[in-house]
Structure 1
Amino acid sequence: MQLDLFSHVAAAYADAKVCLDNETLYSEVSRRAGLSNDELNARTPIGEAGALRSVVKRKIRWHQQELKAMGVITRHERGIWGLTEKVTEDLDRAKSGVKLVAFSTDLGVAVWGACRDVFGGLEQQIALCVTSPPYPLRIPRAYGNPSESEYTDFICRSFEPIIKNLMPGASVCINLSNDIFLPGVPARSLYLERLTIALCDRFGLYKMDMIPWVNLSKPPAPIAWASKKRVQLNTGYEPVLWLTNDPHKVRSNNRRVLEEHSERHKALLARGGEQRTAEYGDGAYKLRPGSFGGMTEGRIPKNVLMRGHVCRDGAQYKEDAERLGLPSHGAAFPLAIPDFLIRFLSEPEDLVVDPFGGTIKVGMAAERLGRRWMVSEWILQYIRASAERFRIFPGYWLNPMMAAM
């Protein structure tokens, strides 16, 4: 009864479009719990004085104070409380200081809260951070995003508690947008360059690569400059910035991401390698008989990720969000991106984190690959819908507050 009542109290605040006074809260919780007015208002002697009080109402207020202690609700005026900070009519954002475990498995945990609050007190070494933060768009998405002028400071503040916990040779991978243009001009912003330099200068990081995520199925864009003015080409990639704190100890290993040899290379291997002698580039590149004839485990991938944006995991997330009656995230990246980066840059049982969890793709990839993981996401509806896909994994637990949504 007590755990169920907590769920109903949390759900009443989660579903409310306005703040609730206590009488409205009592009525809503009793409706959800199936309590009659007599059960809600039944009075029992309390304390040494034997004052008559409603036990159910007292329990509701206790759970209200539990939510207050977690930072989930805030008092707006005497006796009137509300949940979170509204981003839009459909999305609730965690207020500053909120850190609520939304769901977990034996390997990982997803926390509802802002990344600085969630990772600020972490005392574990991080092997890898993979994330796709909000882009500095002039027309913001539903979940909101910083402007270009504040973007570098926003990213640096967000990553500071993570970077201080990186183990030697750990990596940070950030999926960013290449399509941020100067106002009214078909020239791209230099925000990527400014951000890269700031992360390296402020935190002593090193740039390992800027890996293009090539997605030839992207919708035509930028509309104004490519489709209308005809002065730009349609975009076919997004950059993934790869940084490390120690390039001499970096934990990357391309043996973990080897690809199958092409049919042409297999035929070359079957012939025993090259049968000719040749030189290219004024002697810089030489072919000799037998070159490329030795059998290997596979071919080393190019530093380009050819991946579409549609994936089965993303489709499942949208199905779950629709079934729960929740708005879905509009800008999730495919599972294949974190899957590749986690295999390449970490080892089993390493801790992988994502401060901008979104649909918890990084957590899903880490879970499947046997890595420990920790993800933060500050939009309540996104993290709740994401929890459904993790039910199949050992140790799954869903916070009663989330279950009640």
Structure 2
Amino acid sequence: MPTQLQLFAAVTAAYADAPDGRLDNATLYAAAGDRAGVPASERQARKAVGVAAQPRNLYERAVRWHQQTLKQMGVLARAPGERGVWELIDRTPKGLHRALPGVRLLAFSTNLGVAIWGDCIDTFERLDTPITVAICSPPYCLSRPRAYGNPSDAEYVDFIVASLKPIVERLVPGGSVCINLGLLDIFLPGSPARSMINERLLLALHDRLGLKLLDRLIWCNGSKPPGPTYWSSRMKVQLTATYEFIYWLSPSPELVRADNRRVLLPHTEKHLRLISAGGETRDAVYGDGAYHVRPGSFGNATPGRIPRNVLHRGARCADTLQYRRDAAALRLPAHGATMPLSIPDFLIRYLSEPGDLVVDPFGGTAKTGMAAERLGRRWVITEQMLTFLRPSGERFRQCDGFHMPEDVEVWPARAA
């Protein structure tokens, strides 16, 4: 007989992979036994139990016990009008495999970090290591939810605040939180006027978590197609949306660990020529005295130029293409919303140092984890959808100390 944990995982997976998340008990016994490797002889064996010594099937009893555990967790319920049939309560519309409440499983790990399949709140409430920076792109508040589900407008602020609360409580002095929030499909119902949900969220993060706004970085993606489709392409009202905000916040901005010297850009050829010439030759005042250019200005050699707070990055990158190839090879659906690796790479270099801990409560395709891994930072990410997390692990196989539990390794084949 397998261990209790192995059998619980087998029962859970049987429901997760069943059509519509629904199984009768006979099918459950067979599916869970196949997954847990229970021999046919053990599945059918009966043993005398209790004072009356009545013969009972202990395997089926154990499966039903785990079934009742899932019921108590609020995951299973009896199928209406069907005797002996149970079904998943929490299942996304397209059948993606969401982590069960209270369940945290290792998806994969390296010497520097771990990816957890589970709820971010439950995971980070148990973390006992100080966090230097959190980088996340939470589900957007969309009028048409993606496959992995999105919070509604009414619950969005509470959802994000609750998700970030255990992380903020564990930030080091001067630690940072960076949140990527989209604008593309957030409109008032039936109106070209944009929702102010992002502004409401920003105020809630300040009022309820004590986070102060350090900047609104803009991720400008010039490769975005015309959109929002209805209001720009059909009704001809809006312009094409090409940017998203990245809110940079900290509970202690006076101690913030940012250092723009870690993200300096090369000087332009024009500026290098100016330095070589000894600087400006002009003596001029601009902007009603706001700017005074004196002879010799900008003549000192410096390591580079300070980046602007507008990040011009297309969504397409080599890391995303590899993730999609890995998902296709595993016959799993690819995540529909990805950011280029260069975004978390920039933020991690800017806001942390090697050895610091970087986290992402909405891990998705593990872009934050991969950027942290390459930059020598420790990392922890959580993701509720194993469908996205499993192929993400493939890109980490060449990292030092890579490990993926066998149950996760074989999951796609068993789920197919």
Provide TM-score, normalisation by structure 2: 0.85
Identify unmatched segments of 5+ residues in structure 2: 412-416
| Superimposed CA distance per residue, residues 77-127 of structure 1 (whole angstroms, 9 cap, x where no aligned partner) | 699777783102431212222212211111111111122122122222111
> Does 2:402 match 1:400?
no
Kept in 1, the 8 Å contact 2:75–2:90? The answer is no
> Does 2:266 match 1:260?
yes
Kept in 1, the 8 Å contact 2:257–2:352? The answer is yes
| Superimposed CA distance per residue, residues 56-85 of structure 1 (whole angstroms, 9 cap, x where no aligned partner) | x59x959x959969x999565699777783
Which structure's relative contact order is higher, taking Cα pairs within 8 Å and 6+ residues apart?
1
Q: 1:230 aligns with which of 219, 233, 236?
A: 236
Counterparts of 1:104 and 1:68 in 2: how far apart (Å)? 28
Q: CA deviation at 1:15?
A: 3.1
Which residue matches 2:126? 121
> Does 2:375 match 1:369?
yes
> Does 2:349 match 1:343?
yes
**1:24–1:223: structure 2 CA closer, same or farther, 3 Å change rule?**
closer
Counterparts of 2:206 and 2:223 in 1: how far apart (Å)? 33
| Superimposed CA distance per residue, residues 293-320 of structure 1 (whole angstroms, 9 cap, x where no aligned partner) | 1111111000111100011111111111
> Does 2:103 match 1:98?
yes
Q: CA deviation at 1:362?
A: 0.7
Q: Counterpart of 1:402 in 2: which secondary structure?
A: helix
Q: How does 1:29-178 map to 2 (within 5 A)?
A: 37=40, 61=62, 76=77, 85-178=90-183
| Superimposed CA distance per residue, residues 188-223 of structure 1 (whole angstroms, 9 cap, x where no aligned partner) | 222222111111111221100111101111111112
Kept in 2, the 8 Å contact 1:90–1:327? The answer is no
Which residue matches 2:206? 200
Q: CA deviation at 1:226?
A: 1.6
Q: CA deviation at 1:373?
A: 0.8
| Superimposed CA distance per residue, residues 136-186 of structure 1 (whole angstroms, 9 cap, x where no aligned partner) | 111111111112222111111111111111111111110002232222222
Which residue matches 1:288? 294
Counterparts of 1:404 and 1:23 in 2: how far apart (Å)? 24
Q: Which moved more, 1:176-185 or 1:139-148?
A: 176-185
Q: CA deviation at 1:273?
A: 1.7
**1:337–1:68: structure 2 CA closer, same or farther, 3 Å change rule?**
farther
Counterparts of 1:320 and 1:399 in 2: how far apart (Å)? 18
Identify unmatched segments of 5+ residues in structure 1: none
Letter in 2 for 1:230: K
**1:271–1:174: structure 2 CA closer, same or farther, 3 Å change rule?**
same
Give the superposed CA RMSD. 3.3
Provide TM-score, normalisation by structure 1: 0.87
> Does 2:222 match 1:216?
yes
**1:80–1:149: structure 2 CA closer, same or farther, 3 Å change rule?**
closer
**1:35–1:97: structure 2 CA closer, same or farther, 3 Å change rule?**
closer
Q: Counterpart of 1:101 in 2: which secondary structure?
A: strand
Q: 1:15 aligns with which of 6, 17, 36?
A: 17
Aligned-residue sequence identity (percent) comes to 52
| Superimposed CA distance per residue, residues 352-389 of structure 1 (whole angstroms, 9 cap, x where no aligned partner) | 11111111111111111111111111112111121111
Which residue matches 1:334? 340
| Superimposed CA distance per residue, residues 310-349 of structure 1 (whole angstroms, 9 cap, x where no aligned partner) | 1111111111111111111101111111111111011111
**1:82–1:361: structure 2 CA closer, same or farther, 3 Å change rule?**
farther
Q: Counterpart of 2:139 in 1: which secondary structure?
A: coil
Q: 1:323 aligns with which of 323, 329, 333?
A: 329
Q: Counterpart of 2:325 in 1: which secondary structure?
A: helix
Counterparts of 1:402 and 1:73 in 2: how far apart (Å)? 24
Which residue matches 2:414? none
Counterparts of 2:387 and 2:73 in 1: how far apart (Å)? 14
Q: CA deviation at 1:24?
A: 3.4
| Superimposed CA distance per residue, residues 25-59 of structure 1 (whole angstroms, 9 cap, x where no aligned partner) | 5544665688885686689999xxx999999x59x
Kept in 1, the 8 Å contact 2:2–2:36? The answer is no
Q: Counterpart of 2:173 in 1: which secondary structure?
A: strand
Letter in 1 for 2:353: E
**1:278–1:115: structure 2 CA closer, same or farther, 3 Å change rule?**
same
Q: Which moved more, 1:324-333 or 1:29-38?
A: 29-38
Counterparts of 2:246 and 2:37 in 1: how far apart (Å)? 51
Q: CA deviation at 1:268?
A: 1.4
Kept in 1, the 8 Å contact 2:226–2:241? The answer is yes
Q: CA deviation at 1:253?
A: 0.4
Kept in 2, the 8 Å contact 1:84–1:95? The answer is no
| Superimposed CA distance per residue, residues 238-291 of structure 1 (whole angstroms, 9 cap, x where no aligned partner) | 011110111110010000100111111112122222223222123321222221
Q: Which moved more, 1:170-179 or 1:182-191?
A: 182-191
